[in-house]
Amino acid sequence: MLFRRVRFWTVIFLLIVYVIGILILTVLSLHDTRGTGYKSGSSVQSRFISKSKSFEYGLPGFKPRLRRPKVNWCTDLKYIHPPRPTVALASFPGSGNTWLRYLLQQATGYHTGSVYKDYGLRKNGFPAESVANGSVLVVKTHEWGPRARCNFSKAILLVRTPAAAIQAEFNRQSGGHVGFAAPDRYKRLRGRYWQDFVASQLRGWQTMNLDWLYNFTGPTHVIFYEQLVSSTEHTLRTVLDFIDVPVDAKLFECAIQRKQGIYRRQKRALNFDPFTEGMKASLKRGEKRVLDAIYSVAAPTAR
Ligand SMILES: *[C@@H]1O[C@H](CO)[C@@H](O)[C@H](O)[C@H]1NC(C)=O
Ligand SMILES: *[C@@H]1O[C@H](CO)[C@@H](O)[C@H](O)[C@H]1NC(C)=O
Ligand SMILES: *[C@@H]1O[C@H](CO)[C@@H](O)[C@H](O)[C@H]1NC(C)=O
């Protein structure tokens, strides 16, 4: 009799410990959920975001998370004092803005900000995430429209080819800033999910870039992600010139040495081409519209 009682209470005790454990894990994982960093735009956009947040790995607390190394800064980061006119770093998601922010912080020792509150970025390398005024070098935004533009006096528009940007955003939404989408995600709903994703993202890519190109009235500096990759040093210099910060030669050299950083996805080839011929045709059309606008409105630095 006594034995059964002890066993009963042991089971109850273990159950309680188990439930508390699950609760703690759930709270921790909720706390760690990043801002999606995509507020305006269409409802299609947010539908994708909420879909991509579904629990792919079963319980929310058990999503495997890669441990990210700490950033090794060339110097301690500080705020700009006194504050200066606010510069936008406008880009479509997946165009390399985190990497450019990283390079700018390394090269100048100043923080960069954002109109979002990405918890993961704030904790690791971008403590001024969510600061959106002239006390930071540039302010990241993926937004468009009059309200998104009105607080900025200058803008850097970072443009990446739509196919690459869309795929990077697809990876980010399911794998985070450095992870990847699993190959079978492209086949979800018999490929419809990916197809809708490409179509709606391409519309967003065009609208966002065209809006900043045509409707932002302040000085605008257009750079291409591909150019930032192939000639990092030169492109970074043009950006620093444009935002008019003095460049310390030592810091700049250090930034170039550490240009890789920790926020770049390593290349990982899929063993199939996710873009159909139809997708490629519309991507090409969209890209041409934006490039035509770039060359007619602003003169970007030589490619
Ligand atoms: C900039 O924004 C941050 C955070 O919102 C705030 O603490 C700071 O006082 C602001 N600085 C200026 C100069 O407005
Ligand atoms: C920006 O300008 C374009 C072309 O002039 C116009 O069609 C579009 O509606 C404008 N967009 C916004 C959000 O103001
Ligand atoms: C623009 O700046 C003002 C004053 O700092 C702020 O109240 C407002 O929310 C900002 N607007 C946007 C769209 O960020």
Ligand 3 centroid to residue 132 C-alpha, Å: 9
Asked if residue 46 has its Cβ within 6 Å of ligand 1, the reply is: no
Nearest CA residue ID for atom 13, ligand 2: 145
Asked if residue 147 has its Cβ within 6 Å of ligand 3, the reply is: yes
Asked if residue 190 has its Cβ within 6 Å of ligand 3, the reply is: no
- The best mutation among 144, 151, 216 to test binding of ligand 3, ranked by most ligand atoms within 8 Å of the C-beta, falls on 151
Give yes or no for a contact between 272 and 191, defined as CB atoms under 8 angstroms apart: no
- Fold of domain 87-298: Rossmann fold (3.40.50)
Token digits of residue 6: 């002890």
Q: How far apart are the first and last CA of the chain?
A: 84
Among 174, 150, 161, 204, smallest CA distance to 51 is for: 174
Q: What is the pLDDT along the chain (303 residues), one digit of tens a residue?
A: 666 777 878 777 777 777 776 666 665 554 443 333 333 333 333 333 333 333 232 233 333 344 567 788 999 999 999 999 999 999 999 999 999 999 999 999 999 999 999 888 898 899 999 999 999 999 999 999 999 999 999 999 999 999 999 998 898 887 666 667 777 788 777 778 899 999 999 999 999 999 999 999 999 999 999 999 999 999 999 999 999 998 899 999 999 998 887 666 666 667 788 899 999 999 999 999 999 999 987 555 444
Ligand 3 centroid to residue 245 C-alpha, Å: 24
